[in-house]
Chain A
């Protein structure tokens, strides 16, 4: 374990601790309010992350007929399940992610300030607050930041165990890895790696290691999302879902694919910090063309992609959405600084270990996951490490360079303050809209569905009937569950509707069809028709 002696920070502080604390508290309060107030806005969450909680509540978990999306079955759901009480309350949807962020902030501050002092600890925290994808992850219902939190808990537990020798921290190390494993598929290889690291660290403490193994097995059974793997095996004969689906979403080109992905992730995270919502700099297009050139010069043709993308269709997103953002100017600066420092290996300096771990995490993602435009959020762990390392280097280790520290200080605060204006769904006005136009915010990422939603509500108020929901693999089903007084009858197959026993003839049967073509011979009357094969039907 690293030497934890406190190193004094450079004599001239750019901003005082009190000033930084105030800024951090103010910005954190802003994001916290968003986490509490915003409804579920994320499309993925509406389709499967939280959508499946509604399906499970309506039709049960151990069934095969009501799931409308493969993703509802095959992805681990431990962290998603944590959102259930908030779904019932109707508020605080992003509170679990935000608590993860707060936990991460506390751990980063604790670990950094012990060695480099409070000021550097505060700059490390502020660096995280200045990265768009991290703050979007902190206020979303998606399960990306929980991975960083889980890994942080594991590291924090190891450090605390080294100091106190308390068994509690063996338990928390095991629990954090198990919970992380159960939260996201790509966290599984990360956790496997960390288990080996844990075994290496405690290789001379057999009792500790055995206790860790025992706690880990128990925690995995409880929180490892075993049930989704079992259900997936039952439905698709494979614990990870349809085998072709898994294959298509992975990097299928080995080291070549990993190298190409690394170049794409690296260039994709070049940022001016001014993109996002309504501030398009055109940098993405420029970077795409350069990236294509570099890949082709290196003879890396069409490698490393998920099945839906290739050299012609790939593009970099900087649109300010949860899944289409980068890490901003500070993330870019951190990436560049770490890219220089990685070439100066000093094993005893934890700063180098942090940078190397960041690149290791990035390499693992490059090697395992096929490239998609919305993969930036998978790099949260790496960029948290890069951001912390940058803060340590600039504010903790540079003996000279007062003006450099001043420039970085202003840039970090500028980025942290301007971030809300560059994000979709997270602007200051969205905080107010969460109260007076909640429905609009819900459909911000999918506006055409709002009309459907309004019509369903109006029709339900006018006529009491039985409602079927028939949705496709990519349908946002979650918003339709919240206002419904009676439970939906989930029927992803048309036969299920036709075979439905009609006990009371007077009760009308309605079908909400989301993104599915309707068969020609179906005995129905079209009540409303929308774009993208979406209908409200009445059964004859």
Chain B
């Protein structure tokens, strides 16, 4: 139940690969979710932290109700997790009067997570900043490397022979790059 049409209990899976759409909210997101899950059971309507946590769960509930489940839906939960994260920071560093070591531990974990995130993401590693300059094309096709060969061949053929080009992509074809570099100039020419 609750799936988008392409998924069911047999083929559903969780993605933690570090792509824009195949990532989770990391250790800190997980901690924030847990802390929020405990905090939600102590309702104090005058406490803005509880309101933030409750809003996070309300949005999560809304997404769960209206959007069919897909493996790459984590990004739809950004609003909820922003709220959980803020609430966690307030709870751990603002409200806990004791728990010095807990705060230290959380502090280190948050800094550690923030520093290591770039190494765990595809296309967002430190080296990708340099690649954006010296290997921009490779970087653009990082999430779909097989298309790069096609792109290179099309560009090479177009340079060698002038002609009219048609593009027949499927509904999920990776054609943006081709359109930008090739189709648009062609259309302009036709006009």
Structural contact, B108 and A422, CB atoms closer than 8 A:
no
B188 at the binding interface (Cβ < 8 Å): no
- Chain B, interface size category, equals 10 to 19
Which one of A19, A22, A281, A417 contacts B127 once the chains associate, using CB atoms below 8 Å?
Answer: A281
Contact B119 A281 (CB under 8 A): no
Q: Which residues of A contact B119 (CB under 8 A)?
A: 274, 279, 418, 421-422
Residues of B within 8 A of A422 (CB): 119
Taken together as a complex, chains A and B put the C-alpha atoms of A23 and B74 apart, in Å, by 31
Shortest CB-to-CB span from A162 to chain B, Å, is 37
Question: Quick check: B108 and A274 within 8 Å, CB to CB?
Answer: no
Interface residues on A, range: 10 to 19
Q: What is the chain A residue whose CB lies nearest that of B118?
A: A418
Return chain A residues, CB-CB under 8 Å to B125: 274, 279
Residue of A with least CB distance to B109: A26
How would you classify the secondary structure of chain A's contact residues: helix, strand, loop or mixed?
A: helix
For window 8-53 of A, CB contacts with B under 8 Å fall at 19, 22-23, 26
CB distance from B137 to the nearest CB of A (A): 15
Query: In the complex, what residue of chain A is closest to B135 when comparing beta carbons?
Result: A282
A247 at the interface (CB under 8 A from B): no
Indicate whether A414 reaches chain B with its CB closer than 8 angstroms.
yes
Provide the residues of chain B in CB contact with A197, threshold 8 Å.
none
Question: B68 on the interface (CB 8 Å rule)?
Answer: no
Of B112, B120, B130, which contacts A281 at CB under 8 A? Answer: B130
Of residues 408 through 439 on chain A, the ones whose CB sits less than 8 Å from some CB of chain B are: 413-414, 417-418, 421-422
Chain A residues near B108: list those with CB within 8 A: 22-23, 26
- Note all chain B residues with C-beta closer than 8 A to A106: none
Contact B115 A414 (CB under 8 A): yes
Q: Contact check, B126 vs A417: say whether CB atoms are below 8 A apart.
A: no
Given the complex of chains A and B, what is the CA–CA distance between A22 and B100 in angstroms? Answer: 11
Closest to A26 in B: B108
Q: Is A298 an interface residue (CB 8 A)?
A: no
- Determine whether the beta carbon of A417 is less than 8 Å from that of B112: yes
Interface check A404, CB cutoff 8 A: no
Bound complex: CA of A37 vs CA of B151, how far in Å? Answer: 48
CB under 8 Å from chain A, chain B span 110-168: 111-112, 115-116, 118-120, 125-127, 130
Chain B 73-98 residues near chain A, CB threshold 8 A: none
CB distance from A96 to the nearest CB of B (A): 27
Task: Tell me if A272 and B115 are in contact (CB < 8 A).
Answer: no
CB of B107 within 8 Å of the partner chain? yes
Q: How far is the CB of B147 from chain A (nearest CB, A)?
A: 23
Residue of B with least CB distance to A422: B119
Closest B residue, CB atoms, query A282: B127
Query: Which residue on chain B has the smallest CB distance to residue A18?
Result: B104
Contact present for B126 and A272 (CB under 8 Å):
yes
Q: Return A410 CB to nearest CB of chain B, in Å.
A: 9
Q: Least Cβ distance of B171 to chain A in Å?
A: 34
Complex CA distance for A26 and B120, rounded to whole angstroms: 20
The reply to whether B115 and A279 form a contact with Cβ atoms under 8 Å apart is no
5 closest A-B pairs (Cβ-Cβ)? Answer: A417-B115, A26-B108, A274-B126, A421-B119, A22-B104
The interface of chain B, by Cβ under 8 A from chain A, is: 104-105, 107-108, 111-112, 115-116, 118-120, 125-127, 130
Residues of A within 8 A of B (CB): 19, 22-23, 26, 272-274, 279-281, 413-414, 417-418, 421-422
